[in-house]
Structure 1
């Protein structure tokens, strides 16, 4: 598959990584940092997997969809954690939104790959 096949997912991964980094940075500025430790850890993990996934898709890697599956799982977990904090923290709410969007794009890539494999 080429870059254009992955474009929407690459953009979602890049946007999610940036939003996760922003969320982690803002959480570190909060007074109750202990309560946000899981959020900080998950947003950092999510940013890492999103960056790696985007890089694989950018080079048209034949196994990029494999990482999309992991990205989907981590983005979903991150979104759930950020949503639990979102009542008062706008950056967590924005992070959750981008994580959900990225998870959806990654899910589509995994399904597309599975469909292609079934038709071989």
Structure 2
């Protein structure tokens, strides 16, 4: 594992966590909250996972590859849902999740 790759992944994980949290919050202000329920849940789960991943990369975790792989999967899961919605915050979240997933996969390799 290349330690020089950590800053990019940590940065993207933190950005993704904040973006997912903002998206979930914005979804709560949508007219049809029921339609956004799954999006909110996935965003909050993804935000938590991204935080864990970023923190785990800051220390020598024995499970960093597994954590990064799971983070990539959760980012894909969130992006899939967010991309279904036309709201700008959902589209931004989906794109950030895709970028984070790609970087996490590099770390997991």
Aligned residue pairs total 109
* Structure 1 alignment gaps of length 5 or more: 112-120
Q: Matches of residues 18-97 of structure 1 in structure 2 within 5 Å?
A: 18-85=18-85, 87=86, 89-97=87-95
Of the two, which has the highest radius of gyration?
A: 1
- Any unmatched runs of 5+ in structure 2? none
Give the alignment's TM-score, normalised by structure 1: 0.86
| Aligned partners of 2:9 and 2:54 also within 8 Å | yes
CA distance in 1, matches of 2:67, 2:83: 24
Runs of 4+ aligned structure 1 residues displaced above 3 Å come to 1-5
What is the TM-score when the length of structure 2 is the normalising length?
0.94
Residue 2 (structure 1) shift: 7.5
Match of 2:99 among 97, 101, 109: 101
Q: Is the 8 A contact 1:3 1:57 kept in 2?
A: no
Question: Which residue of 2 is the match for residue 116 of structure 1?
Answer: none
Q: Which moves more between the two structures, 14-23 or 64-73?
A: 64-73
Q: CA RMSD in A?
A: 1.4
Contact 1:3/1:59 (CA < 8 Å) preserved in 2? no
Q: Distance in 2 between the 1:94 and 1:5 partners? A: 24
Deviation at 1:3? 5.4
